[in-house]
Structure 1
Amino acid sequence: MQAAQKQELHEDSLCARDVIEKYPREQRFTLAILQDIQRKYKYIPREALEALAEYLEIPVSKLYGMATFYKALSLTPKGKYIVTVCDGTACHVAGSMVALDEIEKCLGIKAGQTTEDLKFSINTVNCIGCCAIAPVMMINERYYGNLTPKMVKEILDEYRGE
């Protein structure tokens, strides 16, 4: 491993400690700490898991189990913009898979993947809770409904242009 990579990993661990040490040393806060780490980094770095395991005095394997159990947590880097496509019944019937196909085509990646430049990630979920405007996608915290392939392309182009 190169010196720059080692320094970056060390800095990730130190920064994660800032998040971790806001909480008492109690296991009941584990999920909240993992969520805060994820919010900060857009994923949970290995070094952060190790720092948290040390802080809570629990095995890294227990934290790894939690991080892989919850779909909202990720051990791999996510993009700046997380595109979440609803595939619940209403959205599916209204054409969510057509919208997903267009997103994948526009970004050159499949659901569950992240672009090489770490700008976009695609996720699918069973329900976003906006059935009245199906099909729906979210980009980070912003909702887009009544999607058509043309709308999807225009929306993604706006985010690309930023």
Structure 2
Amino acid sequence: MSARKIALEQPESFSFSKQSEKEIKFWMNKYPESKKASAVIPMLWIAQKQEGWVSEPAMREIADRLGMPKIRVMEVATFYTMFNLEPAGEVFIQVCGTTPCWLRGSDELKKLCEDKIGPQRHVSEDGKFSWLEVECLGACANAPMVQISTRDSDHYYEDLTPERLTVVMEAFARGETPKPGSQNGRSCSEAEGGSSALTDKSLYDGSLAKKIKLPNAGPKKEKA
């Protein structure tokens, strides 16, 4: 994996909001004083949800709160790819580009994002959108798909085409949160065409399996 570096331009300071402080209190109460550094990942996530990314001043604040060396917090933030190390749009689109999504048209989704937003990591002029190609997000059955993150949610949008993704993006641009999940009408990850596709029991009850004789198997016992 290539090295991840923090952004060159950083804010002068960082402070947690009142809402963030409530969440921090919850996590800090989960660990004994001697193990409070265990809250580093939740605190980094809270900082990201508040600002859209994790800045260097935020890392310093977290290190001070947890009594950790600052470099240790930075090591965690740069290791986990879920943390944005540079500013992101209010609506952050992660486009899966791994094989199943690529075979199903993720290149077209990436082109759409590039045309509408700009290059990867670029934040649109209104601050609304940014995007990034990522590795497998684990929804291969409904490829191609994206994860869209805002300050309030992280949702999967699946079975996409450029047209369907355009509809989703336009909804976010209007301040709406479109319904996540499959965008072609399928339920969860059922087969396209509906669950009726497997009504033939012989497809799964073993009746089509070829009978074999196991080596060293004794004679078949007759039922009493």
For Structure 1 versus Structure 2, the TM-score category normalised by the shorter chain is 0.7 to 0.9
Identify the residue that residue 40 of structure 2 maps to in structure 1: 30
Distance 1:67-1:116 versus aligned 2 partners, 3 A rule: farther
Kept in 2: contact 1:85–1:124 (CA 8 A): yes
**Aligned residue type for 1:38:** Q
Kept in 2: contact 1:103–1:153 (CA 8 A): no
Structure 2 Cα separation of the partners of residues 20 and 49 of structure 1: 14
5 Å-filtered alignment, 1:90-101, equals: 90-101=100-111
My pick for the range that moved more, 92-101 or 55-64, is 55-64
Return 5+ residue gaps in structure 1 as ranges: none
My pick for the range that moved more, 66-75 or 144-153, is 144-153
Structure 1 Cα separation of the partners of residues 88 and 170 of structure 2: 19
Following superposition, the deviation at residue 100 of structure 1 comes to: 0.8
Identify the residue that residue 130 of structure 1 maps to in structure 2: 139
Identify the residue that residue 59 of structure 1 maps to in structure 2: 69
Per the alignment, in what secondary structure is the counterpart of residue 15 of structure 2? Answer: helix
Return 5+ residue gaps in structure 2 as ranges: 1-10, 176-224
Structure 2 Cα separation of the partners of residues 101 and 91 of structure 1: 14
Kept in 2: contact 1:20–1:52 (CA 8 A): no
Structure 1 Cα separation of the partners of residues 104 and 170 of structure 2: 23
Aligned equivalent of 1:76, options 86, 90, 94:
86
Identify the residue that residue 217 of structure 2 maps to in structure 1: none
TM superposition score normalised by structure 1: 0.79
Kept in 2: contact 1:86–1:135 (CA 8 A): yes
Give the structure with higher Rg (CA): 2
Identify the residue that residue 116 of structure 1 maps to in structure 2: 125
1:48-85 deviations in Å (ceiling 9; x for gaps) = 22222222222222212221111111232222111111
Per the alignment, in what secondary structure is the counterpart of residue 13 of structure 1? Answer: coil
Structure 2 Cα separation of the partners of residues 14 and 142 of structure 1: 24
My pick for the range that moved more, 137-146 or 120-129, is 137-146
Structure 2 Cα separation of the partners of residues 112 and 105 of structure 1: 13
Identify the residue that residue 13 of structure 1 maps to in structure 2: 15
TM superposition score normalised by structure 2: 0.59
Kept in 1: contact 2:121–2:130 (CA 8 A): yes
Identify the residue that residue 148 of structure 2 maps to in structure 1: 139
Q: Which structure shows the bigger proportion of residues in helix conformation?
A: 1
Distance 1:14-1:42 versus aligned 2 partners, 3 A rule: closer
**Aligned residue type for 1:87:** G
**Aligned residue type for 2:107:** M
**Aligned residue type for 1:34:** L
Identify the residue that residue 201 of structure 2 maps to in structure 1: none
1:103 matched to 2:113? The reply is yes
Per the alignment, in what secondary structure is the counterpart of residue 17 of structure 2? Answer: helix
Query: How many residues are treated as equivalent by the alignment?
Result: 153
Following superposition, the deviation at residue 44 of structure 1 comes to: 1.7
1:113-143 deviations in Å (ceiling 9; x for gaps) = 3223321121222222222221112322333
